[in-house]
Structure 1
Amino acid sequence: MKDIMSYTEQMDQLDPARMNQVLALKSEFNDAAFTAQDVETALTKTTLNAYDFMALLSSAAGPYLEMMAHKAQTLTRAHFGNNIQLFTPLYIANYCHNGCRYCGFNSQQAIPRAQLTKSEIQRELEAIAATGLQEILFLTGESEAHSSIDYIASALELAKPYFANIGIEIYPTNEASYRILHQAGADFVTVFQETYDLTAYEYYHPYGNKRSFPYRFYSQERALNAGFRGAGFAALLGLSDFRHDALATGLHLQSVQTAFPEAELSFSVPRLRPINGELGHFNHLVSDRDLVQIMCAYRLFMPHAHITVSSRESESFRNAVMKICATKVSAGVQVDVGGHSASNKHKSSDQFDINDTRSVAQMHADIVAQGLQVVYHDHIRL
């Protein structure tokens, strides 16, 4: 696949209008053009347009971060109360056919690879359920050969008796396959676009199905068409200019919300993390202050969207942003295959180095200590 805007014959193709609109608006963003007045005007509005969102992501908004955080906190409490949802990821395989230059799972990494058997998955599910969690996120590497739709569906079927909410973060697939996974128990799909900078996207994805930018862009839409209840969106912040990538992520989510007004949509805000202790030579790293600005801008632009903050971030950072705008956090996290059950541990390498290692019980106690309410599920599976 030479052209990142192309598809293989097997890929579903959707109307490119929304993608083209997002990319066109992104190209119009000129950080230096925004002024303090633009930011102040955006902060007076209850409904923001794309240019207001740009203003809040711009450098001009830096001095207004405290005001943004106060308004973001007010909106979060209005729409979500004091609730913080808990979940944990479960890696069931780490084989991958892509060559992503930033990922510890990419096909050229000489790492231990593993795929859990049904009995091993069962042990993982039992170990996670014993912590009290009711929401789980299944992850695989992007290899359909080693993590087939049938394999993932069988894992979802095993999870249904244990969990009220089940999400997947796997390779993008066609609508028919998403329908199979939804029928097997999946409620949510999360797909990181990684970066919306087409030049950077081409560099970071030299081969594999992930090289198709539009196929990845429309993953959430295919899943929602297949019956999924919700979808998550993110750029991997640090691969390119974070202001442009955050802008495009927000516009992407807004475009899908317009097309699927009943869907539950969420932002994730992953920053680049070291792989085996090293971060490499990336030129667009995002500071804590930058990340808070992005999260507050997301909240003001899309007040009803969840904001998920993973264990990539530190304990102190996550405690702080839960008070402002984060509504969903992971706990008891393991980023290797089969890391939750003692008998499955050390089957593979970690995808990246986590920062917050708190258990579910520790996370629960810390959330309550901040005057917030822990939510283990908000959905009854019939």
Structure 2
Amino acid sequence: GARTLKEKVYGHRIVLFAPLYIGNLCANNCAYCGYKASNKSVKRVTLDKEEIIKQVKALEDTGQKRLILVYGEHKKYSPEFIAESVETVYKVKSGNGEIRRVNINAAPMDIEGFKTVKKAEIGTYQVFQETYHPEAYKKVHLTGKKRDYDWRLTALDRAQEAGIDDVGIGALFGLYDWRYEVLSLVRHVNHFEAVYKVGPHTISFPRIQYASELDIDKSHLVSDEDFTKLVAILRLAVPYTGLILTARETPEIRDEILQFGVSQIDGGTNIEMKGYTKNNGDKQDIDKEQFLINDNRSLNEIMDDLIQKKYIPSFCTACYRLGRTGEHFMEFSVPGFIKRYCTPNAILTLVEYLEDYAPEATKKRGYQLIEEKMAEIEDAKYVKKVRNRITEIKEGKRDLYF
């Protein structure tokens, strides 16, 4: 079912990214969040330009190519501020490293605000409804702009009207009955398809974990079994959409759920403010975090693990840069054509990683996997094209794609 469908549409690959928290000032009081305005123990930080550059360099030096920037809801984080931080990220180059796609997770804006952010050439703009159930929503969003259910629900309509055709939706599982949330997510997808002829680029389904001063009704927390089930249901219901599974989950749960349709995960994640440049082993400082991370593996450990499990780790950003987004992405991905682009593009970004960042053992395993995957491409002419590009990368060229 879900496993077969995912492979049919996407091929056997997993796209990787990392979150970078730009600022944790927040004017909202959300019962489930460590960064809520009333939490006095949290250390409030907003990265300045120099600090952003430092964090991005540290990320690039591990091999990251795709980031999601995260902002609290606060007047300081205006559309102009967000656009400027995106531009800063794109300019950072460390060795062969560069960030090729910057996605955004930030507060809802008006149409003008979304237009400002679009000009910075963002990737996907994410706004999660958290819970689609109006009563449950009211219970956990106590004060602040986020209390307005409708303003949040219609945020991505305004993004579409501003010309952002890559949007990401999500629900925070554990606030209300998971079945209601799944149906609501699918209904939200139907709305986008009907009105804008394009579904969301991604769906996220974070599950409530421990957060500093967590104060919610625990009766809707989702079991591992139901969590696996809801991912499979989302994959079957929305075949073309990227499904994002985050490092809130343990490595064991991530391994299990990857099979059922997940297409994107974060790797080498650190959600502490300024976290990518500090080195204090595994210890997390919950007073600097929005919630607890349960998968603390480095990017290379995750890459190596994926390779051993025969997934192709991918940093591909080709669709976005070739205009295969929004309605055009739908044309390509609904019939499964994406596979023809995705597998070779994933291989090319993996070659870059193996050449620039991988330890010898990972490199060896990676090239072995590439040979296995090349053998699965039936078109001999196409295989030759891919091999030529691999050679070019080995000779020093970068950023090649189909």
Give TM-score scaled by structure 2 length: 0.73
SS in 2 for 1:92: strand
1:112 to 43, 64, 86: 43
1:349 to 279, 284, 288: 288
SS in 2 for 1:240: coil
1:247 to 173, 183, 189: 183
Q: 1:193 and 2:129 equivalent?
A: yes
Give TM-score scaled by structure 1 length: 0.77
Match of 2:118 in 1: 182
SS in 2 for 1:377: coil
1:229 CA displacement: 3.9
Amino acid at match of 1:192: F
The 1:176–1:251 alpha-carbon spacing in structure 2 relative to 1, beyond 3 Å, is same
SS in 2 for 1:220: helix
Match of 2:242 in 1: 306
1:99 CA displacement: 0.9
Q: 1:317 and 2:253 equivalent?
A: yes
Equivalent residue runs for 1:240-279 within 5 Å: 240-262=176-198, 265-276=201-212
Which structure dedicates a bigger proportion of its chain to helix? 2
The 1:184–1:347 alpha-carbon spacing in structure 2 relative to 1, beyond 3 Å, is farther
SS in 2 for 1:243: helix
Q: 1:333 and 2:333 equivalent?
A: no
Equivalent residue runs for 1:66-215 within 5 Å: 71-110=1-40, 111-143=42-74, 145-161=75-91, 162-215=98-151
SS in 1 for 2:218: coil
Contact map agreement 1:90 1:138 (CA 8 A) in 2: yes
Question: Unaligned 5+ residue runs, structure 1?
Answer: 1-70
1:39-84: per-residue Cα shift (whole Å, max 9, x none)? Answer: xxxxxxxxxxxxxxxxxxxxxxxxxxxxxxxx00111001000110
1:92 CA displacement: 0.8
SS in 1 for 2:18: strand
Contact map agreement 1:273 1:279 (CA 8 A) in 2: no
Amino acid at match of 2:226: D
Matches of 1:301 and 1:184 in 2, distance apart? 32
2:164 to 211, 220, 228: 228
The 1:277–1:312 alpha-carbon spacing in structure 2 relative to 1, beyond 3 Å, is farther
Give the root-mean-square deviation of aligned CA atoms.
Answer: 2.1
1:146-193: per-residue Cα shift (whole Å, max 9, x none)? Answer: 222222111100122332211110111111111111111211111110
1:323 CA displacement: 2.1
1:330 CA displacement: 0.5
Match of 2:316 in 1: 377
1:228 CA displacement: 2.2
Contact map agreement 1:84 1:327 (CA 8 A) in 2: yes
Amino acid at match of 1:91: Y
Matches of 1:278 and 1:363 in 2, distance apart? 29
Matches of 1:140 and 1:149 in 2, distance apart? 11
The 1:287–1:297 alpha-carbon spacing in structure 2 relative to 1, beyond 3 Å, is same
Matches of 1:154 and 1:247 in 2, distance apart? 37
1:72-121: per-residue Cα shift (whole Å, max 9, x none)? Answer: 01110010001100000000100100111111011000111011110001
1:280 CA displacement: 5.4
SS in 1 for 2:265: strand
Which one is further off, 108-117 or 245-254?
245-254
SS in 1 for 2:44: coil
Question: Unaligned 5+ residue runs, structure 2?
Answer: 92-97, 323-402
The 1:201–1:346 alpha-carbon spacing in structure 2 relative to 1, beyond 3 Å, is closer
Matches of 2:184 and 2:199 in 1, distance apart? 19
SS in 1 for 2:275: coil
2:298 to 359, 362, 365: 359
Contact map agreement 2:212 2:287 (CA 8 A) in 1: no
Contact map agreement 2:33 2:212 (CA 8 A) in 1: no
Matches of 1:347 and 1:290 in 2, distance apart? 27
The 1:169–1:193 alpha-carbon spacing in structure 2 relative to 1, beyond 3 Å, is same
SS in 2 for 1:311: coil
Match of 2:396 in 1: none
